[in-house]
Structure 1
Amino acid sequence: MIGFFRRKKPKNSPDAGPAPLSTEEIAAAFPRAPAEALREATDATPPTGGSGAAPPPPESPPSPPPMEEKEPETAAPAPAGKPGWRDRLRRTSAALGLGGLFSRNPRLDDDLLDEIETALLTADVGVPATSALVEDLRKRMKAREFADANALLKALRADLVALLQPVAKPLVIDAGAKPFVVLTVGVNGVGKTTTIGKLARRFKEDGHQLMLAAGDTFRAAAVAQLQTWGERNGVPVIAQGQDADAASVAFDALQAAKARGFDVLIADTAGRLHTQQGLMAELGKIRRVLAKLDETAPHEVLMVIDGTTGQNALSQLRQFHAAVGVTGLVVTKLDGTAKGGVVFALAREFGIPIRYAGIGEQLEDLRVFDAESFVDALLPEALGG
């Protein structure tokens, strides 16, 4: 049929193929059905399946592949071309303002300590942690332990690292728990679903077989977003749609993960304010439902905290911890205007492990939290640094 509509190519024509007929010529050839003839003659793929069969629909374009870089599980110098902690937290360091205190070669006196105290309080480090840090420096300064301001700066860096070191504990997947269930919680807008997508990529690159549960059933967009992450990472997603019972989604996902022998199940939950008692109680229900299938599940309750929240993060964690027993933290958005001080306040008051830090929007910017790398990014190593 296609050959009927082809003209003979002129002998001297440089074209590789025959010239197509015009719409008028096709209509003249098929006066009864010009539209069908036009589609048949201009379609690059001949129709199949007999007369009148419609050509198969074009395949959907594949989703763009995610970034291929893999983040190491332990702190290490950033590879060439990959931004390090200091590069990513440049704005946070400027907001914290401690580096500027030492760049002026200040005198070693009480005025310097007062400025440090003000900077720490302004940066949301909190009164208890700030008082402990400054008093330690004051005692050591009076004991003439510091020869100059440079020595005091090194002492402050060491004290900050010591405050964070006990909570810098990476998440370890227990191979004996199959699947290892991670329940993610947090208030609205902290980046829970995006964090899950990045975690899924990390776990898969580590060789784990995993599944996601779309438990944020309050927002249809959240389910679709998680499904998109699943497609990008090649990870199955269990979902029931908007307004479904979140505990039911978690239960079905755990059943499926067990049946298929998966290593890890990451369950999303709806964002909720810590003051909404009914929604907080729902988290407890999800935990109880999971325990019906595995009395040890969830094995990790991972709370995502927005680093720009400030001291309000303490209230959030206090309420979520009381409701579901938070076992690990992810602090996100530290690359923006966050002052970063809330990390120290969280560490001092709760001592809950900080598993990851979000220091950018790229996949590799969800970093395993490292105390020294974090403090190094916030403070200069020496005067003028």
Structure 2
Amino acid sequence: MDYTIVAVVIFAVALLVFGGAFLIRPRRPQAPAEPGERPEGAAPSATAEPAEDEEAAAAADATAGASPAEAPPAAPEVETPPPSAGRLVRLRARLARSQNVFGQGLLSLLSADKLDDDSWEEIEDTLITADVGTTSAAQIVESLRTKVKVLGTRSPEEVRGLLRTELLAQLNPDLDRTVRTEGHSGTPSVLMVVGVNGTGKTTTSGKLARVLVGDGRSVVLGAADTFRAAAADQLETWGARVGAPVVRKDEGADPASVAYDAVSRGVADGADAVIIDTAGRLHTKVGLMDELGKVKRVIEKKSQVDEVLLVLDATTGQNGLRQARVFSEVVNVTGIVLTKLDGTAKGGIIIQVQRELGVPVKLVGLGEGPDDLAPFDPEAFVDAILDAA
């Protein structure tokens, strides 16, 4: 036998056996590809996006369910306050309630069947209790006593008419109560608001801005009360409501500097009026009062001061009169603002302040509402007192 042929046959058979086993070997399963990873050997997909796009998409997906960022707070809506004309008439009922004791007491005493010396003394005491002042009370009683004697009979209508005439005469309705806001020579009218602590100067400044805006005036507010940051914040709130810009500086800054900058802003803006809110100060403190005089002098380097409005609390009575005297000596007060008149039966302070200082009451506060500051009208005031009785 040819061993060569046998060897070749055996080699061929072995080759077939091992080769077939290799060819039919089961294929090892391939691990799934990671997201974004192309399997080895696979052709790139025609629709595959760059990695940057995938990151952007992932970021978009991550924020899709997130709550949107809070929008910045909206600016307060600018209000249009009512005009000053007729304000006191609209607030007449509130004034009548507060002065009910005053008016009712006087009318009931004057309507008594018999008016002897004791009766007239009681009438005078009622007037003094209402802060009319001793001199004015004596004058009113003397005039009434003469007229009652002449008339003889006293019907309720006659008594009311007599008392109305006397009270009006003491209030001096002919005084000029105009708040000067016309400006002059291209510069705004400047109004300083002064007074002791707690009388409501900052609130009065804000309400006065509303009165002027309601009358069609443009206003700039100066936060010259630099001792209290809260005062400037409060003034900004008032200004924002009527669209009046506020000039302020850091707490502790020079009040005169703030006032000067406010007037400068008013000139630059072409405003009709600049209202300067000053810090409260004790009328007995000479240094503080001198500082108030400095504020006025510095303002006058830029523009004249048209109004110095002294804010008095109507409930303080005689103390309010003492305050008025000192302030008038330092800054030449041109008008009085009486606050809290709705909460007291002592409206006679109006008569006494005007008599002692020769300065008219120009504005009265009759509540805590934003539009409860009204130009003072003597006739409406007296009628409110007597209608309440």
Work out whether the TM-score is over 0.5. Answer: yes
The answer on whether the counterparts of 2:188 and 2:274 sit within 8 Å (CA) in structure 1 is yes
Q: Which structure carries more helix by proportion?
A: 2
Question: Could you say which residue in structure 2 is the equivalent of 1:343?
Answer: 350
Counterpart secondary structure, 1:162: helix
Aligned amino acid, residue 253 of structure 2: A
Question: Compared with structure 1, are the counterparts of its residues 258 and 77 closer, same or farther at alpha carbon in structure 2 (3 Å cutoff)?
Answer: closer
- From 31, 54, 59, the counterpart of 2:72: 59
How far apart, CA to CA, are the structure 2 residues paired with 1:179 and 1:243?
27
Aligned amino acid, residue 184 of structure 1: V
The answer on whether the counterparts of 2:183 and 2:273 sit within 8 Å (CA) in structure 1 is no
Question: Could you say which residue in structure 2 is the equivalent of 1:370?
Answer: 377
- From 138, 148, 151, the counterpart of 1:145: 151
Deviation at 1:39, TM superposition (A): 7.8
How far apart, CA to CA, are the structure 1 residues paired with 2:299 and 2:88?
37
Deviation at 1:349, TM superposition (A): 1.5
Aligned amino acid, residue 160 of structure 2: L
- From 338, 350, 363, the counterpart of 1:356: 363
Question: Could you say which residue in structure 1 is the equivalent of 2:174?
Answer: 166
How far apart, CA to CA, are the structure 2 residues paired with 1:170 and 1:278?
31
The answer on whether the counterparts of 2:313 and 2:338 sit within 8 Å (CA) in structure 1 is yes
Question: Compared with structure 1, are the counterparts of its residues 343 and 247 closer, same or farther at alpha carbon in structure 2 (3 Å cutoff)?
Answer: same
Question: Compared with structure 1, are the counterparts of its residues 145 and 209 closer, same or farther at alpha carbon in structure 2 (3 Å cutoff)?
Answer: same
Which has the higher Rg, Structure 1 or Structure 2? 2
Deviation at 1:195, TM superposition (A): 1.0
Deviation at 1:255, TM superposition (A): 1.6
Question: Compared with structure 1, are the counterparts of its residues 76 and 334 closer, same or farther at alpha carbon in structure 2 (3 Å cutoff)?
Answer: closer
How far apart, CA to CA, are the structure 1 residues paired with 2:229 and 2:345?
29
How far apart, CA to CA, are the structure 2 residues paired with 1:39 and 1:380?
72
Question: Could you say which residue in structure 2 is the equivalent of 1:197?
Answer: 206
Counterparts of 1:242-321 in structure 2, within 5 Å, are 242-294=251-303, 297-321=304-328
Counterpart secondary structure, 2:221: strand
How far apart, CA to CA, are the structure 2 residues paired with 1:270 and 1:154?
43
Tell which deviates more after alignment, 103-112 or 187-196: 103-112
The answer on whether the counterparts of 2:100 and 2:345 sit within 8 Å (CA) in structure 1 is no
- From 205, 224, 227, the counterpart of 1:218: 227
Counterparts of 1:19-38 in structure 2, within 5 Å, are none
- TM-score for both structures, normalised by structure 2: 0.78
Deviation at 1:157, TM superposition (A): 1.4
Question: Compared with structure 1, are the counterparts of its residues 168 and 112 closer, same or farther at alpha carbon in structure 2 (3 Å cutoff)?
Answer: farther
How far apart, CA to CA, are the structure 2 residues paired with 1:149 and 1:363?
41
1:209 and 2:223 matched: no
Aligned amino acid, residue 330 of structure 1: V
Question: Could you say which residue in structure 2 is the equivalent of 1:155?
Answer: 162
Question: Compared with structure 1, are the counterparts of its residues 322 and 39 closer, same or farther at alpha carbon in structure 2 (3 Å cutoff)?
Answer: farther
Counterpart secondary structure, 1:301: strand
Question: Could you say which residue in structure 2 is the equivalent of 1:71?
Answer: 83
Deviation at 1:75, TM superposition (A): 6.9
Aligned amino acid, residue 331 of structure 1: L
Aligned amino acid, residue 73 of structure 1: A
How far apart, CA to CA, are the structure 2 residues paired with 1:114 and 1:233?
50
Question: Could you say which residue in structure 1 is the equivalent of 2:139?
Answer: 132
How far apart, CA to CA, are the structure 1 residues paired with 2:97 and 2:280?
27
RMSD (CA atoms): 2.4
Question: Compared with structure 1, are the counterparts of its residues 77 and 209 closer, same or farther at alpha carbon in structure 2 (3 Å cutoff)?
Answer: closer
- Identity score, percent: 44
How far apart, CA to CA, are the structure 1 residues paired with 2:266 and 2:387?
47
How far apart, CA to CA, are the structure 2 residues paired with 1:283 and 1:146?
55
- From 325, 330, 339, the counterpart of 1:332: 339
Aligned residues: 326
Counterpart secondary structure, 1:107: coil
1:89 and 2:95 matched: yes
The answer on whether the counterparts of 1:181 and 1:264 sit within 8 Å (CA) in structure 2 is yes
Deviation at 1:37, TM superposition (A): 9.8
The answer on whether the counterparts of 2:199 and 2:313 sit within 8 Å (CA) in structure 1 is yes
Question: Compared with structure 1, are the counterparts of its residues 159 and 101 closer, same or farther at alpha carbon in structure 2 (3 Å cutoff)?
Answer: closer
- From 224, 228, 236, the counterpart of 1:227: 236
Question: Compared with structure 1, are the counterparts of its residues 75 and 243 closer, same or farther at alpha carbon in structure 2 (3 Å cutoff)?
Answer: closer
Counterpart secondary structure, 2:310: strand
How far apart, CA to CA, are the structure 1 residues paired with 2:97 and 2:89?
20
Question: Compared with structure 1, are the counterparts of its residues 242 and 146 closer, same or farther at alpha carbon in structure 2 (3 Å cutoff)?
Answer: farther
Question: Compared with structure 1, are the counterparts of its residues 252 and 101 closer, same or farther at alpha carbon in structure 2 (3 Å cutoff)?
Answer: closer
- From 72, 87, 105, the counterpart of 1:100: 105
CA offsets 1:235-254 (integer angstroms, 9 cap, x no match): 11000021111001011111
Counterpart secondary structure, 1:102: helix
Counterpart secondary structure, 2:371: helix
Aligned amino acid, residue 244 of structure 1: A
Structure 1 gaps of 5+ residues are 1-35, 46-54, 79-83
- TM-score for both structures, normalised by structure 1: 0.78
How far apart, CA to CA, are the structure 2 residues paired with 1:222 and 1:76?
27
Counterpart secondary structure, 2:320: helix
Deviation at 1:175, TM superposition (A): 3.7
Question: Compared with structure 1, are the counterparts of its residues 168 and 357 closer, same or farther at alpha carbon in structure 2 (3 Å cutoff)?
Answer: farther
Question: Compared with structure 1, are the counterparts of its residues 256 and 156 closer, same or farther at alpha carbon in structure 2 (3 Å cutoff)?
Answer: same
